[in-house]
Structure 1
Amino acid sequence: MNFYHQLGLCLLVIVCIWSSQVEAKVQITTIPYNHGEVVLEGVLAWDDAIEGKRPGILVVHEWWGLNEYARTRAEQLAALGYVAVAVDMYGKGKVTTHPDEARQWMQQTTANVKIWQARAREGLRLLQANPLVDQTRIAAIGYCFGGATVMQMVYDAAPVKGVVSFHGSLPLPSASLSIKNSVKIFIAHGEADPFLTQDHIAKFKRALDQAGLDWHMVIFGGAQHGFTNPLANQYGMEGVQYQEQADRRSWGHMKLFFDELFR
């Protein structure tokens, strides 16, 4: 083999390696699963350029169902270096833009708290089963109904290190419930959210304090319900409004929260 032939082979190898590195990117795929007789379909996202195990984040959708917005959040988390699973809380294909239908599906899911918590656990198992996930570093985030769901995961002592609620409904725990107190909680709330009274928020804070939970809340002035979703204005609901500044800042707070949680 002459010098030029050897040089050509070396260049070919370099180009192949470079090409594989360029093609490495965030991957996304659907995962079918079940909760009892309910057929569900989650979304898995990860960056295939990263090697080894990494923290895993569960994403719980708004009351609209597992739509493109929830998928996008999973992709964004994967781009930050996490493995993300967007869980399905309603059933495969159950996505809507109609508030009445969304309310019906949410109420069907939340009517029985134990079933609600178990449905979230089933999605968490998808994340735990992924070989890329560091089992000691798992968290969950949720939006609107999803924010309430991650709080139910706290009350259910789900094996997560932390949860993040974005404009969630902040359900109160049962008075008789013994809550796992090692989980950390970050709550992003809009000051102008009309769906939560100041009295409810005060009760929620007291409940977390009485349980000895590590929590902090950031309140964004002027932000209404749904402030993180760029499509919020299109739903035609009073009190639901996207606010770019609160969206950007709350995401930044979440990243700091995870930096501390997983260090």
Structure 2
Amino acid sequence: MNWNRLIGGVLLACGLLAGTAQGAVQSKAVVYEDQGEALTGYLYWDDALEGKRPGILVVHEWWGLNDYAKKRARMLAELGYVAFAADMYGTGRVTDKPEQAREWMQEVTTDPEWWRARAFAGLAQLKAAPGVDTAKLAAVGYCFGGGTVIQMTYGGSDELKGVVSFHGSLPAAPEEANGKIKIPLLILHGQADKMVSPDVVDHFEQRLGEAGASWELDSYGGVRHSFTNPDADKRGIANLKYDALADKRSWARMQAFFAEIF
């Protein structure tokens, strides 16, 4: 037997397999519509996997559906989920200007029912994607997106198995949500986030308790807003600060949460 040829063949096969695994995550743009407005989201999946698997909705920061939200959706696909990065503002609405981001965010958040409807329009795209187990759905969001996935629980829907908010805006549960929050919430929060004061956090927790929700809030000491985004420091805003340890811990906590709910 030619051992050199055999070993060489094995190494070549391993190299091909490694290349396939590394390039297995696929993506495509999905154009959809909500209330007459064109939206463009992005679907991510690992085509090396077979069968149905849980689907995760990803909701962007207040900057719009930029590369960061898409990166997180890709990372979720690498974990074996089908992920859909939803568009909450409209096709092409992405900015690096805080004033513009605030304006677009306020357009969405002024009417909570409209806010929820826009998010569920994205969830509908995820549910329609091939390979998604529609009985196993969750949503994650960042900044404005964190507030969005929290808001999705307040309408009483049970389409999701749970939601995860990373440095979210923490909108308090309205009175009409009492007794209607059917799914668990995981809140991952920076304790030193000046955009979300301790009073806001206290009120948020109090209302979840009064509403009878199942929730957990993990507060990372000394950590500021946008702590999961490595580009946060480039925005020129003092309250935005990446924290590698909090990023790592919060991502691990999310994975453990998914293991529980799925």
Distance, in Å, in 2 between the alignment partners of 1:248 and 1:19 is 30
Q: What is the CA–CA distance in structure 1 between the aligned matches of 2:219 and 2:201, rounded to whole Å?
A: 11
Residue 216 of structure 2 is matched in structure 1 by 216
Q: How does 1:199-238 map to 2 (within 5 A)?
A: 199-238=199-238
**Which of these residues, 10, 18, 23, is aligned with residue 20 of structure 2?**
23
Structure 1 residue 179: Cα displacement: 4.8
Q: Deviations over 1:132-155 (max 9, x none)?
A: 111111000000000000011001
Q: Sequence identity of aligned pairs in percent?
A: 49
Deviations 1:108-156, CA, capped at 9 Å, x for gaps: 1111111111100100000111131111110000000000000110012
Q: How many residues align?
A: 249
Contact 1:229 1:242 in 2 (8 A): yes
CA contact (8 A) 1:155 1:179 kept: no
Structure 1: give runs of 5+ residues left out of the alignment.
1-14
Residue in 1 that maps onto 2:253: 253
Contact 1:181 1:212 in 2 (8 A): yes
Give, as a single letter, the amino acid of the residue that structure 2 aligns with 1:47. Answer: D
1:202-237 alpha-carbon deviations (Å, 9 max, x no partner): 111111111221111111111100000111111111
TM-score, scaled to structure 2: 0.90
Query: Match of 2:118?
Result: 119
Q: How does 1:1-263 map to 2 (within 5 A)?
A: 22-23=19-20, 25-158=24-157, 159-262=159-262
Give the TM-score normalised by structure 1.
Answer: 0.90
Distance (Å, rounded) in 1 between the aligned partners of 2:119 and 2:83 = 14
Task: Compute the displacement of 1:21 (Å).
Answer: 8.2
- Give the drift of 1:37: 1.6
Instruction: Measure the CA separation in 2 of the matches of 1:167 and 1:26.
Output: 27
Q: Which moved more, 1:178-187 or 1:73-82?
A: 178-187
Cα distance in 2 for partners of 1:169, 1:233 equals 19
User: 1:23 offset after TM fit, Å?
Assistant: 3.0
Report what 1:3 is aligned to. none
Q: State the SS of the aligned residue for 2:28.
A: strand
RMSD: 1.9
- Per the TM alignment, residue 22 of structure 1 is displaced from its structure 2 partner at its CA by 4.6
* Structure 1 SS opposite 2:255: helix
CA contact (8 A) 2:177 2:211 kept: no
Please say which structure displays the higher CA radius of gyration. Answer: 1
| SS, match of residue 177 in structure 2 | coil
